[in-house]
Amino acid sequence: MMAAQKTVTGPIPASEEMSGYKEVREDLPDRIMSMAEKNSEAERKMRLRAQVFQFCDALVQRIFALSAFSIAMYCTYLLAISGHDNAAIAVGSSTAITVVGSFLYREIKVKATREGKSTGLSNPHHGDQA
C-alpha cells in the first residue's frame, strides 16, 4: 500500500479541485481566478502603501532631526558670541552626543533586525517592547 499527499498553497486551488468546481457550477473556476487576482492586487497595493509610508516617515524624521540640530547649533553660536561659553559648550556637546547616540541606536536596531535579535532597547514609536 502506498500513500501520496499533495499540498497546494496559495489562493488558487489545485487543478483537480478547479475541474470539480466547474462540475458544480460552470463559472466557479473563473470566479475563483478573478477573486485570486483581486486579492493579489490588493496585497500589492498594501505593500506599496507600507513602503511609501515608511519612506515618508523616515523623511519626516530626518527633516525634524536636521531642524532640531540646526536650531541647537544656532543657539550654541548665539551663546558663544554673547559670552556664555559654558552654556554654549553644554548645549553644543549635548546636541552632538544626542545626534551620535541616535545614529548609533538606529544602526544597532537595524543590525539586530537583520539578525533577528532583540536589542533590549524599546522604541514606543515602533511598538517594540523591552
Average pLDDT value over all residues in the chain: 83
Residue 65, pLDDT score: 85
Q: pLDDT tens digit string along 38-92? A: 998 999 999 999 999 999 998 998 898 889 889 989 999 999 999 999 999 999 9
Provide the sign of the torsion angle of the four alpha carbons 81, 86, 87, 88, taken in this order: positive
Q: Enumerate the domain spans of the chain.
A: 15-118
